[in-house]
């Protein structure tokens, strides 16, 4: 391998790890902040480091410090299988993290004659990996619930496992219909498939080709991530905290973070399978590479506009009501952040200008296109995560029997019917 190839490979591994791990504090913050705004309250906005509160995201890091320095308490009644009790949260966390590694963040990059995948794990059987590794997470929950030697924990683990089984079928069948549609098990090939259009106007996203499969898989992924409205595995009024009742400090945090990584992974799968992955609608990778100059020109105008909007929003919202005597350093923070953002914008503008003016055929576009695609992917991923959070704070929880009824009586037949119709259509079009 040449140096450039090694750099690109390492870069994509680091990017995958960062996108999964750094997203945890951001998602925890986003969840608390969005739920606050939905409920007409501000959410965490006090914690700060030297007056910098960054809209409250500092709170997540303070929470991490708290959880790390907390006492690790193992209940005395756990005599057997203590090592599995300790291992269980790690299984859940690691499986959620590993499942994320096969998501492509950008199209394959040609470096020194070799096509390199921008994935943490450059494999061509991404969806099988996701289904296999993603399902291992439930083992951590079952182990944790069982070895807690606590009836609530056992019930929680039981519920988690039961709902996982009932929805994995629908998820699997939905995924099979998507595999039939795309004729591939490779996530990257799926995204490339989605770069076309229908009748020249509608982007050929999975959402528009397979709306039923999109709904089925989205619901199944909600269950897979154990999030509301399917959060029956934990319930304060019935079974305390479910399978992690007996867990404290970092071991609890491991389950907690695992949930958010799983949500992030599920969001990435939805983006990749149904929302065109890293692609812009109507513009494929080839078009981007060939005509990068007009794209750079558009970006040259778009970036300052977006930044200006953001700065205006920040100046408007990073403050307190004028009746208050002190703003707790928010004014100073706004001024400094405005400077930083303007500096960043100028830097991006300079790079874009250079890309516009550079001679054709140089390396500029082939570096800029993957970066642009990564940005698009992250934006789409954040929007889907926002959707996950919005759903959680909108819907009441399903009762346990309702979850089972929905899974077996509605989703499973719907997934089967969808698969049936898809197969007929694919066979008809193919012959």
Partner 1 sequence: MNDTAKSTRITTVPRYGDQTADKFYLPAIYAGIKVTLGHFVRNFRDITAMETLEYPEEQPTDITPRYRGLHRLTHREDGSIRCVACFMCATACPAGCINIVATERTDGIDEKMPEIFAIDTLECVFCGMCVEACPCDAIRMDTGIFSVTGQAREDFVLDRDRLLSHTGAFETEQTRNKEASHD
Binding site for partner 1 (CB under 8 A): 34, 37-42, 215, 313, 316-317, 319-326, 390-391, 393-395, 410
Element (H, E) at 36: helix 23-38
Question: What does the DSSP 8-state code read for residue 295?
Answer: H
Among 370, 376, 431, 381, CA closest to 4: 370
Nearer to partner 1 by Cβ, of 323 and 431: the residue is: 323
Closest approach of Cβ 318 to partner 1, in Å?
8
Closest approach of Cβ 131 to partner 1, in Å?
25
Closest approach of Cβ 418 to partner 1, in Å?
15
Closest approach of Cβ 95 to partner 1, in Å?
29
Nearer to partner 1 by Cβ, of 79 and 316: the residue is: 316
Closest approach of Cβ 44 to partner 1, in Å?
13
Nearer to partner 1 by Cβ, of 114 and 320: the residue is: 320
Give the count of alpha carbons within 13 A of 362, CB side only. Answer: 9
Compute the distance between CA of residue 174 and CA of residue 191 in angstroms, rounded to an integer: 17
* CA trace torsion 141, 144, 145, 148 (10° rounding): -170
Alpha-carbon 418 to chain mean position = 26
Neighbours of 292 (CB within 10 A): 21
DSSP H helices, 121-235, are: 126-147, 151-182, 187-193, 206-209, 211-224
Give phi and psi for 76, each to the nearest 5.
-65, -20
263 CB-contact burial (10 Å; exposed 0-12 / middle 13-18 / buried 19+): buried
Beta bridge partners of 52: 49
Compute the distance between CA of residue 176 and CA of residue 184 in angstroms, rounded to an integer: 10
Nearer to partner 1 by Cβ, of 52 and 282: the residue is: 52
CA separation (Å) from 41 to 32, 47, 48, 51, 66?
Answer: 10, 16, 19, 21, 24
Closest approach of Cβ 309 to partner 1, in Å?
12
Nearer to partner 1 by Cβ, of 104 and 267: the residue is: 267
Nearer to partner 1 by Cβ, of 295 and 414: the residue is: 414
Nearer to partner 1 by Cβ, of 251 and 380: the residue is: 380
Sign of the CA dihedral 313, 317, 323, 327? Answer: negative
Closest approach of Cβ 76 to partner 1, in Å?
33
Closest approach of Cβ 153 to partner 1, in Å?
30
Closest approach of Cβ 410 to partner 1, in Å?
8
Nearer to partner 1 by Cβ, of 38 and 250: the residue is: 38
Closest approach of Cβ 263 to partner 1, in Å?
17
Q: Do the Cβ atoms of 35 and 43 come closer than 8 Å?
A: yes
Nearer to partner 1 by Cβ, of 34 and 342: the residue is: 34
Q: Do the Cβ atoms of 212 and 418 come closer than 8 Å?
A: yes
Q: Do the Cβ atoms of 117 and 188 come closer than 8 Å?
A: yes
407: left (phi over 0), alpha (psi -120 to 50) or beta: alpha
């Amino acid at each position: 391998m040449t140096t450039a190839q090694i750099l690109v490979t390492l870069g994509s591994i680091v990017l995958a790890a960062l996108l999964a791990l750094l997203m945890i504090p951001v998602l925890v913050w986003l969840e608390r902040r969005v739920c606050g705004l939905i409920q007409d309250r501000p959410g965490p906005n006090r914690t700060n480091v030297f007056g910098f509160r960054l809209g409250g995201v500092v709170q997540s890091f303070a929470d991490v410090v708290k959880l790390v320095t907390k006492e690790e308490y193992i209940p005395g009644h756990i005599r057997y299988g203590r090592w599995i009790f300790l291992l269980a949260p790690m299984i859940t966390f690691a499986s959620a993290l590993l499942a994320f590694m096969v998501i492509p963040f950008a199209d394959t990059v040609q470096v020194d004659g070799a096509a390199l995948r921008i994935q943490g794990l450059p494999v061509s059987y991404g969806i099988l990996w996701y289904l296999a590794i993603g399902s291992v997470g439930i083992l951590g929950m079952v182990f944790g619930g069982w070895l807690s030697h606590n009836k609530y924990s056992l019930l929680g683990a039981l519920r988690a496992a039961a709902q996982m089984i009932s929805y994995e079928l629908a998820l699997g069948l939905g995924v099979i219909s998507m595999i039939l549609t795309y004729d591939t098990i490779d996530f990257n090939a799926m995204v490339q498939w989605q770069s076309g259009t229908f009748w020249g106007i509608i982007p050929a996203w999975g959402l528009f080709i397979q709306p039923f499969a999109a709904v089925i898989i989205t619901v199944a992924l909600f269950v897979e991530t154990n999030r509301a409205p399917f959060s029956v595995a934990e319930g304060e009024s019935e079974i305390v905290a479910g399978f992690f009742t007996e867990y404290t400090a970092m071991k609890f945090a491991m389950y907690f973070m695992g949930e958010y990584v799983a949500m992030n992974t599920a969001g990435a799968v939805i983006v990749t399978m149904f929302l065109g992955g890293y692609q812009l609608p109507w513009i494929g990778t080839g078009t981007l590479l060939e005509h990068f100059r007009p794209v750079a020109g558009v970006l040259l105008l778009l970036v300052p506009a977006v930044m200006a909007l953001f700065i205006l929003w920040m100046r408007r919202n990073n403050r307190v009501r004028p009746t208050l005597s002190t703003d707790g350093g928010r004014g100073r923070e706004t001024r400094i952040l405005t400077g930083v953002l303007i500096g960043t914008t100028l830097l991006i503008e300079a790079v874009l200008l250079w890309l516009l003016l550079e001679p054709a055929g140089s390396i500029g576009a082939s570096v800029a296109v993957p970066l642009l695609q990564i940005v698009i992917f992250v934006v789409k991923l954040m929007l889907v995560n926002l959707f996950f959070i919005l759903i959680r704070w909108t819907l009441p929880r399903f009762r346990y029997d309702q979850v089972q009824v929905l899974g077996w009586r509605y989703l499973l037949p719907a997934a089967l019917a969808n698969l049936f119709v898809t197969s007929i259509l694919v066979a008809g079009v193919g012959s």
